[in-house]
Structure 1
Amino acid sequence: MPVPIYDAHHAPGGTLKRLPLLKAAVAFIAMVFLCLCGLLYLQLEQSWRHDLAQAEVNSINLTQAMAQQAEDTFMEADLVLMSLSEWIETLGEGPEQRLRLQKIFARRVLALNQLSGVFLYDKQGQWMVSSFNDSPHGEEVADRDYFRFHQQNASLQVHISPAIRSRANGEWIIPISRRINDQNGDFQGVLMAGIKLAYFDQYFKSFNIDDQGTMFLALSDGTLLARRPFEERQVGASLARGEIFSKYLPEATAGNAMITSIVDGIPRLYGYRQLQAYPLVVAAANSKDAILKGWYSSAYQSSAIVALVLLGVGLFGWVFVHQVRNNERIEADLREAQEALEVIATHDSLTGLANRRLFERSLAIEFSRGARQGSPLGLIMADIDFFKSYNDTYGHVAGDHCLSQVAQALQQCCQRKADLAVRYGGEEFALLLPDTDIHGVLAMAEQVRQSVMARNITHSGSPVGCVTVSLGCYSFVPSGRDSIEVFIERADAALYQAKATGRNRVAALAMETLPEQLQRSDR
């Protein structure tokens, strides 16, 4: 079987297969892309979480401050009402006391910035005393929610009502009120203090929240009392269906939540807290966009940098892959050239058959294989009969054509890949037949002889009128100590025997026909 001089599929120094460089390059570039994108995602995701966590801490602190301020504001007003109700129950509210009460009311209002006014109403809802000098006495407030509440409830606890417009000065106030009883415990009237909405508006403005942020104060039933930004049409609106009141407050009295507002539809991070002393809820929120504004800026910058890096990697990868492909094409061309050189080095240029160099290499391999496996190895030596006469008669060009025709006949008879047809020299050919005993060798030789004659190459110098060949056959089982030269000589001796007995025939080597030196080598 022919053996290549150089195997292009193996590295020069060992048996390791060549790495698929193009696939490895593409895989590496893809891995770089994935790693950079993954690192960018992790960095942005971590930064996102950090910004939201920081915003939650700020939101908790903000609602704590709001709750404390709201509780202090209402507690101060409540203490005023408590002390005034005790004064009224002790001294009464008769005509002789009203002027004195009016001055006390006025002093209390001046002492507390959050108070718009303090008012005392009788059991019919008529104004009796207020902190204003020119109060329109005689106008009823029996229609007010806070008045009806105390009229219908015997509790002496403070009551906070939804925001209303004061009939005294027209400004928005939050009524905080107490019930006044007579000495028998019957309903005598209502003492009310109005807390300015403007006070909460100014207080809310002191906090640093974004333009889309919001703050509000509401009753525990969801009725909106005060809000930043202030919108008059929203005063008294119900937030009961909002997520803070319907979902979060029933679970916890304080916390944080990302909520889309039912008022304006803007997603915000809300911090909320329910006051312990009063039925009030405070909440503050910054918009999600404002919270993540710095994150968005950082994300754009990081993404731009990573995009530039990926672009650079991509361009480098494209150039590298392009170069690898060029190298592969060059290597393929070199392999083709190497294969062509190998064919030139191991094959006869005229006939295309193997030359003596490849023949000798194959012999060495088949000797070793035959010795290992104990299989026979056959050899046919063939020579064109009267070829010198053919050249002299028809010329060298015709002689070359004759050689090619005979070579084709030999090649066509080789049905197995292991069979090797060889131009041994001049008009002499050889046929190496691995794993073939003498009977198989003789049969193959006869097939070759018949194939050559079937081509009917005219030869006037031949007794049969066409080109013929004589063939010598030999086969043996290699033992590992055999001589290649002796093997060839034995087949060649058989060829001489065929020529000596009349040409155009097949001969196998007989022991008695061996030259003396070959007989000695057999012994």
Structure 2
Amino acid sequence: MPIPIHDPHQTPGTLKRLPLRKAAALFIVAVCLCLSGLLYLQLEQTRRQDLANAQIASTNLTRAMAQQAEDTFLAADLVLTSLADWVEDDGYGAAQRPRLQKTFARRVQQLEQLHGMFLFDREGQWVITSFPDLPRGNGVADREYFRFHQQNASTVAHIGPAIRSRENGEWIIPISKRINDRAGNFQGVLMAGIKMAYFDRFFKSFSLDDNGIMFLGLKDGTLLARRPFDEGLIGSSLARGRIYQKLLPEAPAGTAMIKSVVDGVVRLYGYRQLAAYPLVVASASSRDTILKGWYERAFQSSVIVALVILGVGLFGWVFIHQVRDGERIEKNLRKAQRTLEQIATHDSLTGLANRRLFEQSLEIEFARGARQSSPVGLIMLDIDFFKRYNDAYGHVAGDHCLTQVAQVLKNCSQRKSDLAVRYGGEEFAVLLPDTDINGVLAIAGQIRRSVMDKRITHSGSPTGYLTVSLGCYSFIPSGNDSLEVFIQRADAALYQAKNAGRNRAAVLSLEEGVAELMRSDR
């Protein structure tokens, strides 16, 4: 019998078809990688270009700010120097005071940045001012600039922290000089007050986004002026910030992308230290605003490339895998979709639902509650003194603390319909369908006690341990309810709990118009 040339069990054409499939697969993969790589390179190049342009603009802005600040203080310094020489030569006796007062007033009228000029004797009492009448009071011996000149023999102009004028209460930045007698002994202080409103108007002349900031500070980090103006921040220290801690020691001017520890916004900061005076100016624009146009272009380009890759992939799926392998690919796609949905709807740190899933669930539960006339409850929860916790133990420990609180919320959300949410930062929420206010309060108490039972040490808390405050609210939807109002009411109860001392729950009672507060451990 003749020996067969081919194996009778081998499908004809297999030897040729297998290399072709591999080559096609490699070709499709190479095309997709090339498209993705070109897209990445193009987007990265344009992103860097947008950031570079923003850095140039930021550098120019801080240079303008520095020049304006230097000119402002230099003009006041020159006036102080001339008047100080006059006072030291002729004194400020009764005969000289009328002429000095008129000169002070003229100088203030000539310089729009000046609030007023003041001369104080060695005891800190008013001697002459640019105002018609001398103020009444105990003088300025307690002011920082006066004590500075008492203790320092230098005749160089001194810029002190911003203060409220005792003449009319206006915010001013004092620049002052020491007055000596002919023997060099301390005789008093000559001070000019720079209007903070002058810098405020200058800052407002620049276009910034809603999250942008500008500030003027002393070299030691003391904040003098800021946009947007916040009276509570004037005089606070910026010395612990990255600009003062790391950037200024390395270079007197520059730019840096910094995430704010106050609001979490990432901003491009431009900073500059003045050469003539111990002052620092800085401006910042949010990264999202800088890259807004880039985000739009990136989205459009990504969609186009994604469509091309999708077309190539579909061709490869038909050509290589055919119908038999289609089911496996479809299964993998479903798995990938579930993974993406998990990423899109859950917080990566705590594993809790995020605000997107929370809002979707709220709409569903509102509709169900309206149909079934069943209540919908909500707990808004905030970790007490969490900023102190981060400051004391660091952000890594803070993240661990958030995961522990999240685990408590998971354990206390027993029903499948209950939804624990990381609402933002250290704030959490628990959606409780079909739960009246008594049930909501009971679960809130369980959460509060469970957090305390963990005995998480917190040196910044009055109790010595980590605690939480909770706001509770429940109502029966009518079908035309606002999600925002629902959240705001629970949030209002939360703030009532915090204002009442924290480590407690508050129940918002619309009938009584107040929030009922309770420790939740009764």
User: Are residues 246 and 6 of structure 1, via their aligned partners in 2, closer, same or farther at CA, if it must alter by over 3 Å?
Assistant: closer
Give the match's secondary structure for 1:90.
helix
| Higher RCO (CA < 8 A, seq sep 6+) | 1
The reply to whether residue 2 of structure 1 matches residue 2 of structure 2 is yes
Hey, what's the Cα distance between the residues in 1 that align with 2:322 and 2:222?
A: 73
Residue 268 of structure 1 deviates from its aligned partner by 1.1
Opposite residue 67 of structure 2, the aligned amino acid is Q
Give unpaired runs (5+ residues) of structure 1. 327-523
Number of aligned residue pairs: give it. 323
Residue 138 of structure 1 deviates from its aligned partner by 5.5
Hey, what's the Cα distance between the residues in 1 that align with 2:16 and 2:303?
A: 41
User: Are residues 120 and 78 of structure 1, via their aligned partners in 2, closer, same or farther at CA, if it must alter by over 3 Å?
Assistant: same
Residue 10 of structure 1 deviates from its aligned partner by 13
1:102 corresponds to: 101
Hey, what's the Cα distance between the residues in 2 that align with 1:267 and 1:322?
A: 46
Residue 3 of structure 1 deviates from its aligned partner by 5.7
Runs of 4+ more than 4 Å apart: 3-12, 16-19, 322-326
Hey, what's the Cα distance between the residues in 2 that align with 1:227 and 1:262?
A: 17
1:410 corresponds to: none
1:221 corresponds to: 220
Residues 201, 228 of structure 1: 8 Å contact kept: yes
1:124 corresponds to: 123
Residues 52, 291 of structure 1: 8 Å contact kept: yes
2:37 corresponds to: 38
Residue 2 of structure 1 deviates from its aligned partner by 2.3
The reply to whether residue 161 of structure 1 matches residue 160 of structure 2 is yes
Residue 316 of structure 1 deviates from its aligned partner by 2.9
Opposite residue 158 of structure 2, the aligned amino acid is H
Hey, what's the Cα distance between the residues in 2 that align with 1:322 and 1:136?
A: 92
Hey, what's the Cα distance between the residues in 1 that align with 2:6 and 2:141?
A: 114
CA RMSD of aligned residues (A): 2.5
TM-score by length of 1: 0.58
Residue 44 of structure 1 deviates from its aligned partner by 1.6
1:273 corresponds to: 272
Give the match's secondary structure for 1:207.
coil
Residue 93 of structure 1 deviates from its aligned partner by 1.0
Q: 1:103-502 to 2 correspondence within 5 Å? A: 103-137=102-136, 139-321=138-320
Hey, what's the Cα distance between the residues in 2 that align with 1:222 and 1:155?
A: 22
Opposite residue 229 of structure 1, the aligned amino acid is P
Residue 267 of structure 1 deviates from its aligned partner by 1.6
Opposite residue 286 of structure 1, the aligned amino acid is S
CA deviation map 1:162-190 (0-9, x unaligned): 00000111111000000011122211110
CA deviation map 1:195-244 (0-9, x unaligned): 01111111111112211111111110011111111100000110111111
CA deviation map 1:432-463 (0-9, x unaligned): xxxxxxxxxxxxxxxxxxxxxxxxxxxxxxxx
1:428 corresponds to: none
Give the match's secondary structure for 2:161.
coil
Give unpaired runs (5+ residues) of structure 2. 326-522
Hey, what's the Cα distance between the residues in 2 that align with 1:18 and 1:171?
A: 87
User: Are residues 11 and 228 of structure 1, via their aligned partners in 2, closer, same or farther at CA, if it must alter by over 3 Å?
Assistant: same
Hey, what's the Cα distance between the residues in 2 that align with 1:157 and 1:85?
A: 11
User: Are residues 159 and 5 of structure 1, via their aligned partners in 2, closer, same or farther at CA, if it must alter by over 3 Å?
Assistant: closer
1:80 corresponds to: 79
Opposite residue 290 of structure 2, the aligned amino acid is I
User: Are residues 238 and 138 of structure 1, via their aligned partners in 2, closer, same or farther at CA, if it must alter by over 3 Å?
Assistant: closer
Give the match's secondary structure for 1:155.
coil
Deviates more, 1:247-256 or 1:90-99: 90-99
Residues 10, 18 of structure 1: 8 Å contact kept: no
CA deviation map 1:42-99 (0-9, x unaligned): 1122222212222111111111111111111100010010111112123321122212
Hey, what's the Cα distance between the residues in 1 that align with 2:93 and 2:136?
A: 15
TM-score by length of 2: 0.58
Residue 22 of structure 1 deviates from its aligned partner by 2.6
Hey, what's the Cα distance between the residues in 2 that align with 1:262 and 1:161?
A: 26
1:63 corresponds to: 62
Residue 324 of structure 1 deviates from its aligned partner by 9.8
Hey, what's the Cα distance between the residues in 2 that align with 1:174 and 1:74?
A: 10
Give the match's secondary structure for 1:249.
helix
Residue 137 of structure 1 deviates from its aligned partner by 4.8
CA deviation map 1:389-428 (0-9, x unaligned): xxxxxxxxxxxxxxxxxxxxxxxxxxxxxxxxxxxxxxxx
Residue 273 of structure 1 deviates from its aligned partner by 1.1
Hey, what's the Cα distance between the residues in 1 that align with 2:188 and 2:269?
A: 40
Give the match's secondary structure for 2:250.
coil
